[in-house]
């Protein structure tokens, strides 16, 4: 029996988790990449190195965050959250969001920052997504 | 140290796994949903009940399959496979693909077929995606 989640249940699941598949549109193609996020109210906060997905979202800001929690084949929940990419340019707000992300995911920094060639990485892009629509399903 | 996967490594990982995030475009928005698939050669085979994602892919056939394998925070692989949605209409081929999917994922059928209201579900949509571009990253 598959049932829909209420908006409250779906937002609570989004807030509790922090790992999503982010879907965006890059060069007119769907583009999906695993990302970490922190939810505050109706905003998901994320950071990324510059690259294709950032270029894509700057050109086409609509995105979908898909989050799932699988306990067994017949006991799972899945949420889709939709919203627009909004880049955060204010330095104080960028610092606040990076501190929030690193406090939640303390081991993200080195994994994201160290490139194979050992060069210092580019400054991170910080952005938020205001969740303006959310849907969810549950089984079990 | 994050490294790119070769095409051979990325296709081998796609073949070995069977769970993906499927990204498509529905009503001009990115749409991401977890899906099972079986890879045969360069084709990923999938099935679904009719619904928004099928309507979306019929109108806008470009899709992205994102597959990941996380052993630890610093030991993971991630693959993006791009291709076009191709609906399979031939009944014999539909049967062959459904048998292939149910052999690989024997418990999928009831989870996909049983609706909350107990009605018999609609006949499944069967489709394939020819992977015409694949990229992958690995850490550790």
ipTM: 0.90
Residue-wise pLDDT tens digits, B11-46: 999 999 999 999 999 999 999 999 999 999 999 999
Contact criterion met (CB < 8 Å) for B1 and A82: no
What confidence tier does A115 reach under pLDDT thresholds 50, 70, 90? very low
Residue-wise pLDDT tens digits, B72-124: 878 899 999 999 999 999 999 999 999 999 999 887 654 454 444 455 567 89
Q: Is the pLDDT of residue A49 over 50?
A: yes
Residues in A touching B22 (Cβ below 8 Å)? 32
Looking at residue A16, the DSSP 8-state letter turns out to be H
A 6-25 residues with CB < 8 A to B: 21-25
Number of domains in chain B: 1
Of chain A, the percentage scoring pLDDT greater than 90 comes to 79
Q: Is the pLDDT of residue A108 over 90?
A: no
With an 8 Å Cβ cutoff, is B115 touching chain A? yes
CA distance, residue A135 to nearest chain B CA (Å) = 11
CA distance B11 to B8: 5
pTM of the model: 0.91
Contact criterion met (CB < 8 Å) for B64 and A139: no
With an 8 Å Cβ cutoff, is A59 touching chain B? no
Contact criterion met (CB < 8 Å) for A2 and B115: yes
Characterize B97-117 residue by residue with b for buried, 16 or more Cβ atoms within 10 angstroms of its Cβ, and e for exposed.
Answer: bbeebeeebeebeeebeeeee
Nearest residue to A30 (alpha-carbon basis) of B113, B61, B86: B61
Q: What's the token pair of residue B78?
A: 């991630």
Q: What is the mean pLDDT of residues A64-93?
A: 94
Q: Which residue do the tokens 């992205």 mark? A: B64
Query: In chain A, whose CA is at the least distance from the CA of B80?
Result: A32
Q: What's the token pair of residue B84?
A: 């076009």
> Helix (H) and strand (E) counts for chain A?
4, 8
Q: Residue A63's domain is classified under what CATH number?
A: 2.30.110.10
The pLDDT of residue B114: 44
Characterize B46-71 residue by residue with b for buried, 16 or more Cβ atoms within 10 angstroms of its Cβ, and e for exposed.
Answer: bbbeeeebbebbeebbbbbbbbbeee
**Which domain does A83 fall in, by range?**
2-139
With an 8 Å Cβ cutoff, is B116 touching chain A? yes
């Amino acid at each position: 029996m598959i049932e829909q989640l209420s908006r409250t249940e779906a937002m609570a699941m989004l807030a509790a988790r922090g790992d999503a598949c982010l879907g965006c549109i890059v060069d007119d193609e769907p583009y999906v990449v695993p990302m970490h996020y922190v939810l505050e109210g109706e905003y998901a906060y994320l950071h990324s190195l510059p690259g294709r997905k950032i270029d894509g979202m700057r050109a086409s800001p609509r995105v979908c965050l898909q989050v799932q929690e699988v306990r067994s084949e017949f006991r799972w929940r899945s949420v889709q959250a939709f919203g627009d990419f909004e880049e955060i340019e204010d330095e104080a707000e960028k610092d606040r969001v990076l501190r929030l992300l690193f406090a939640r995911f303390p081991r993200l920094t080195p994994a994201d920052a160290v490139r194979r060639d050992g060069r210092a990485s580019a400054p991170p892009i910080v952005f938020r997504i205001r969740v303006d629509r959310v849907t969810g399903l549950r089984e079990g």
